Structure 1
Amino acid sequence: MNNGNQVKWPERLAYAMSDFGCNTIFQIVGTYFMVFSTDTMGIKASVVAGLFALTAIIDSVDGVIWGQFIDRTHTKWGKSRPYWLWFSVPFALFCIMSFSAPNLPMTWKIVWIYVAYIGAKVLYSGINIPVTSILPAMTSNPQERVTLSTVRQFFGNLGAAVFLPLTLPAVAFFAGIFDKHNSNPSTSATGWFIWAVILGIVTVICLMTAFKGTRERVVTKDSNRSVPMRESIKALKGNYPWVIIIFINFVYWGSFSIRQSSLPYYFKYVLHNEALGSAVLAGTIITLISTAMVPFFSRLIGKRNTMLIGMVGTAISQLILHFADQMNGNVPMILFGMLVYYISYGLVGALIAVMLSDAVDFGEWKNGVRAEGFVTSFSSFSAKLGMGLGSMLLSAVLAGGGYVAATAGSSAGQTASALDAIRLGFIWIPLIGYVASGLVLLFNNVDKLEPQMVKDLDEKHQRETEGLA
């Protein structure tokens, strides 16, 4: 097994800034965009559901297109890195637009959020697919990939842990300074806009740091040519590790999206404790502990089994939240359920990118075609499609339950059916998704094939490098 091309710590940290930068603002979009649209802009949940449906359709094609762009890119910086340079600023601007509430008629407000949200999602693919596609190009060492992905996930979770719990207090703080007439600070358009601008600036700085500090060092015959679509597709023939991880990406992140978007509603309307909702988001920092343990566990019991433990844990956490809900919102049990969730979640996220890199290797090993952009682009496609359909499903569930938005200056109560709809989104739909993901993961045995696969590919790449010299 290759022990070469180790990545030094400065480059590991630079790579980690890619996910830290993405999560700095996009986790805020994923968690608060819907509640901002309904409670600040006054847009009906059914209209937001339509936006999510349209975005899901767009997401079904844009990821693959970005992947083809990457496989056809030839620059002095490599194939994946340039996208952080080119699209970090436009991505940040569209995210800021997503939390801007211009004084327009309702029809134009709807147009505004459609343009802003779709733009943010499309450019997120342009930023995030290279975060994954660059991994197999940075090193061919399997354990080094686990380390890189773990460091990346650690800082990605750190971004969420720092900025998610700060969001509502920050919005209220800026509202208190610039929007004093608003009796419901969490709905302040001014507060949301200022906070989004701050996050956008942080995002751009992080992505530029990632661009400057990383490099692509695994050179193959496909590194210096455009790989056409018809040839890229060959990398997927019989590539069952890819099928499994793409399914998991779709279901797991769709469940995550539903849970994350419904969390503010659950704490605001079911528990009547919005401050506790912000506090539990701070628990994201707990994921840093379990994420840091991923390299150790993956060496001890394998990547698949480490991820499987995480998936079982997230499912158990949902059951704990259900029992807490049945006990009139028992706060200590809710906190325990969130603790189990964050520990378990930290074991899953870091390994998805590694398993996608394994799928890139498996496709080359089995079919002789290495197409990092195309193979990994389906990661963004499946995750975003799952998250888009998940958000659409949550919007439909809330609308079907009769949810009424609490707009600026008001604090709407909710009917029993609306509260049940919120519970369905926060507890039960994610539980089903986590169980399904774990069952499918059982069929992935690439850990057993890895020693021979890495040996064969190292020899192949060495021959290709000598041929290019």
Structure 2
Amino acid sequence: MDIPHITAKPQKMANQVGWWERISYAGSDFACNLSFGLIGSYLMYFYTDAFGISAAAVGTLFLVARIVDAFDGPFWGIMIDHTHTKWGKSRPYFLWFAIPYAIFCALVFTTPNLSVGGKLVWAYITYIGVDILYSAVNIPITSILPNLTSNPHERVTLSTVRQFFGTAGGTIVSVSALPMVEAFGHGNEQKGFFWTGIILAVIGALILLNTFANTRERVQTKSSQQALPIKQSLKALKKNWPWAVIIFINFIYWMGMQTRNQVTVYFFKYNMNAAWLTSIMLGLQLFALITVAVTPWCSQKFGKRNTMLTGMLVAILGQLIMYAGSKMMSVEVIIAANIIVNLGTGLVSGLIAVMLADAVDYGEWKNGVRAEGIVTSFSSFSAKFGMGIGGAITGALLSAGGYVANHSQSASALQAISTNYIWVPLIGFLLSAVALMFYKVDSIEDQMLADLTAKHARENQTH
């Protein structure tokens, strides 16, 4: 069934996003971070220390999964561009895939009694499965944004609320995961991770269904109501430099963040001899909410590019302080460094989705093609590819350093852990800051939106 055509006062209607809808939209990222956050932060540890798979094998698995992402991310984007229902283009994916995604979130932490080879097969099937289904519910979070509103400031508000909830979801799982594993497993980490995975998956599925029920796709154009051939969709990427810059940043930023997050438990268990600090350190992500909350004001006053660039520089400073703290073996300095890093990343994460929405507009403005699905699908692909490369880097460094699960680590293994925790993220932040110097949309945004508003008005009059 085709989407009903909207004609009356398109600009005014595009701005009507109430608070309940904002919260329902933001809940989608809360749900994804609640369930996938457990996977991103603890799956490598679960595989090596609970399920009995080597670090090198896990690193290879993460890399293979990213090769799959080279196809599944664009696939979902193309599917969205070809979807036309009474609910819209992106919104129905929350309904269709919330439950399948939840099922695989539970399966990935299931530990059947298998041989070493059998465990690897099980890990490949369940992890790649949950990865593909994550794209099915996560890509629509970004692709729906340009259709919720055409107002650039409202987009920043929506993305900020989304990031606030997403950060809260990631923080909750970071802080509560290990205590939940202990509570449900009573010392049996396999059992503990299994029940923790099930509970978080069910909660996440219910929240995604709420997102479907309480969001609306308002921004409709003549082109957005037609199925776009793949060749036509790809035209939206032609000379779309804002898109290229943000996709690169999304890749390199999440590569660094993934190595940092997944090795946190190793760093405090082995380098600091204080595993109990892991949940506390991950819980310091709450400080990101402070800068997330001020992101709309900062981006309006200083521009999106400059706001994100400031966040990257603050995160770099935090990583350097963390290096000093690790040399001093000072928990206090490391805590301060983590707070600084999280304050920096709070200015970054929420703006990535906004800048991708701007890239959708830029592609239409520059090339005459509006392809929300294909433009934003590369966001999930680049982020997951970065996370996969980060996982491969972690696995390779741990293996090269001689890491042995549940034993005292050699000096080379401790150095490998430290490199993952401090230097790989720092490099990611630094390269992202350099890439931002090539982002120029802020200076042309007013003209671009004025031209598109006139274009949409003409299309609505003739359609």
Q: Which bin holds the TM-score, normalised by the shorter protein?
A: over 0.9
Alignment of 1:325-336 (within 5 A): 325-327=326-328, 329-336=329-336
Q: Letter of the aligned partner of 1:449 in structure 2?
A: I
User: What's the CA shift string for 1:277-302, capped at 9, x where partnerless?
Assistant: 11111111111111011101011101
Alignment of 1:58-69 (within 5 A): 58-69=68-79
What residue in structure 2 maps to residue 450 of structure 1?
A: 445
Alignment of 1:389-428 (within 5 A): 389-406=389-406, 412-428=407-423
Going from structure 1 to structure 2, the CA distance change for 1:3 and 1:346 (only over 3 Å counts) comes to farther
User: What's the CA shift string for 1:146-204, capped at 9, x where partnerless?
Assistant: 0000000100001112221101011111122xxxxxxxx3x611111111111011100
8 Å CA contact retained: 1:3, 1:141: no
Partner SS, residue 444 of structure 2: helix
CA drift of 1:105 comes to 1.9
Equivalent-residue separation in structure 1 for 2:95 and 2:270 (angstroms) = 42
Name structure 2 gaps, 5 residues minimum: 1-9
What residue in structure 1 maps to residue 276 of structure 2?
A: 275
What residue in structure 2 maps to residue 210 of structure 1?
A: 211
Partner SS, residue 14 of structure 2: coil
CA drift of 1:5 comes to 2.2
CA drift of 1:404 comes to 0.4
Partner SS, residue 274 of structure 1: coil
What residue in structure 1 maps to residue 6 of structure 2?
A: none
2:108 is the alignment partner of 1:78: no
What residue in structure 2 maps to residue 359 of structure 1?
A: 359
- Give the alignment partner of residue 154 of structure 2, picking from 144, 161, 165: 144
2:428 is the alignment partner of 1:440: no
Equivalent-residue separation in structure 2 for 1:191 and 1:151 (angstroms) = 32
User: What's the CA shift string for 1:371-399, capped at 9, x where partnerless?
Assistant: 00001111111111111111011101100
Equivalent-residue separation in structure 1 for 2:340 and 2:193 (angstroms) = 31
8 Å CA contact retained: 1:286, 1:339: yes
What residue in structure 2 maps to residue 182 of structure 1?
A: none
Partner SS, residue 355 of structure 2: helix
8 Å CA contact retained: 1:4, 1:141: no
What residue in structure 2 maps to residue 179 of structure 1?
A: none
8 Å CA contact retained: 2:224, 2:371: no
CA drift of 1:321 comes to 0.7
Equivalent-residue separation in structure 2 for 1:431 and 1:305 (angstroms) = 19
Equivalent-residue separation in structure 2 for 1:374 and 1:115 (angstroms) = 26
Equivalent-residue separation in structure 1 for 2:303 and 2:429 (angstroms) = 20
Partner SS, residue 230 of structure 1: helix
What residue in structure 1 maps to residue 243 of structure 2?
A: 242
Q: Letter of the aligned partner of 1:209 in structure 2?
A: N
CA drift of 1:221 comes to 1.3
8 Å CA contact retained: 2:250, 2:382: yes
Equivalent-residue separation in structure 2 for 1:467 and 1:116 (angstroms) = 49
Equivalent-residue separation in structure 2 for 1:466 and 1:119 (angstroms) = 45
TM-score (norm 1): 0.95
8 Å CA contact retained: 1:81, 1:130: yes
Alignment of 1:196-235 (within 5 A): 196-235=197-236
8 Å CA contact retained: 1:25, 1:95: yes
Partner SS, residue 244 of structure 1: helix
CA drift of 1:442 comes to 1.2
2:11 is the alignment partner of 1:5: no
Q: Letter of the aligned partner of 1:453 in structure 2?
A: M
49-58 or 28-37, which deviates more? 49-58
Equivalent-residue separation in structure 1 for 2:433 and 2:71 (angstroms) = 27
Partner SS, residue 227 of structure 1: coil
8 Å CA contact retained: 2:28, 2:208: yes
Equivalent-residue separation in structure 2 for 1:382 and 1:275 (angstroms) = 33
Equivalent-residue separation in structure 2 for 1:175 and 1:376 (angstroms) = 39
Equivalent-residue separation in structure 2 for 1:239 and 1:272 (angstroms) = 48
CA drift of 1:67 comes to 0.4
303-312 or 279-288, which deviates more? 279-288
Equivalent-residue separation in structure 1 for 2:288 and 2:424 (angstroms) = 22
8 Å CA contact retained: 2:13, 2:218: no
CA drift of 1:42 comes to 0.9
8 Å CA contact retained: 1:2, 1:454: no
CA drift of 1:4 comes to 5.5
Partner SS, residue 76 of structure 1: coil
User: What's the CA shift string for 1:330-362, capped at 9, x where partnerless?
Assistant: 011001000001111111000000000110000
CA drift of 1:456 comes to 0.6
Please report the RMSD computed on the Cα atoms of aligned residues, expressed in angstroms.
Answer: 1.2
2:42 is the alignment partner of 1:16: no
Give the count of matched residue pairs: 453
Equivalent-residue separation in structure 1 for 2:234 and 2:370 (angstroms) = 10
CA drift of 1:211 comes to 0.4
Alignment of 1:155-234 (within 5 A): 155-176=165-186, 185=187, 188-234=189-235
Equivalent-residue separation in structure 1 for 2:462 and 2:214 (angstroms) = 29
8 Å CA contact retained: 2:76, 2:377: yes
2:122 is the alignment partner of 1:112: yes
Equivalent-residue separation in structure 1 for 2:236 and 2:185 (angstroms) = 52
Equivalent-residue separation in structure 2 for 1:429 and 1:235 (angstroms) = 33
Partner SS, residue 101 of structure 1: coil
CA drift of 1:89 comes to 0.9
What residue in structure 1 maps to residue 313 of structure 2?
A: 312
8 Å CA contact retained: 1:162, 1:285: no
93-102 or 421-430, which deviates more? 93-102
8 Å CA contact retained: 1:242, 1:359: yes
What residue in structure 1 maps to residue 289 of structure 2?
A: 288
What residue in structure 1 maps to residue 106 of structure 2?
A: 96
Equivalent-residue separation in structure 2 for 1:374 and 1:319 (angstroms) = 37
CA drift of 1:465 comes to 1.7
Partner SS, residue 130 of structure 1: helix
CA drift of 1:3 comes to 6.4
- Give the alignment partner of residue 457 of structure 2, picking from 451, 454, 462: 462
Equivalent-residue separation in structure 2 for 1:75 and 1:168 (angstroms) = 42
* Percent identical residues: 50
Equivalent-residue separation in structure 2 for 1:3 and 1:299 (angstroms) = 20
CA drift of 1:2 comes to 5.7
8 Å CA contact retained: 1:171, 1:191: yes
TM-score (norm 2): 0.96
Equivalent-residue separation in structure 2 for 1:89 and 1:453 (angstroms) = 39
User: What's the CA shift string for 1:431-454, capped at 9, x where partnerless?
Assistant: 111100001101111011000000
